[in-house]
A = this chain, B = another copy of it.
């Protein structure tokens, strides 16, 4: 007997369908926030680009503040994951740091990472702001730990981990403001250039 194809979705299908719709809304929203700025973009604009209505966005994601929080949380989530992966890499502490920094730079040139950098804390409502700050603190700490470990195993010149973390982060965050995804520099090449130049600064001479 051939199985009867049902017009009703299974719970798994419904869940996958819901996730796909959330993704589509987030991707459209983050691109518009990055292009036009958060304050210059309305959820009506986002809905129009997807050919849906604003209440549909509310249904899948919530209000504009919640949409922005979800966008930056995705970007920060990618970086937190990269830090965890870096910890499992072979080599010296400096090797693991460089591995993380290359990923970090590339994520910042991608949609959600770009949104993290372009979003000032003050754009978010106060509760979302706290979540945003807490995620950013995790990344600051992960970066400082990777630096601390590299100093400890002698693969990095001794320095203040907090200040070095800020120096590196600044250089690797900045492409979110100027790098053109359709421009002459591929994200991987640019990441390599930035990390190589920074590494010459912090590696032992």
Total residues of chain A contacting the partner, CB 8 A: 35
Chief secondary structure at chain A's binding surface: helix
Q: Which of A148-205 contact B (CB under 8 A)?
A: 159-160, 163-164, 166-175, 177-178, 185, 190, 193-194, 197-202, 205
Q: Do A200 and B197 touch across chains, with their CB atoms under 8 A apart?
A: no
Instruction: Count identical subunits in the complex.
Output: 2
A37 to B163, CA, bound (A): 25
- 14 intermolecular pairs with C-beta atoms under 8 Å apart: A37-B120, A40-B122, A160-B193, A163-B185, A167-B174, A168-B171, A169-B174, A170-B170, A170-B171, A170-B174, A171-B174, A197-B201, A200-B202, A201-B201
**Which positions in A face B, CB cutoff 8 Å?**
36-37, 39-40, 118, 120, 122-123, 159-160, 163-164, 166-175, 177-178, 185, 190, 193-194, 197-202, 205
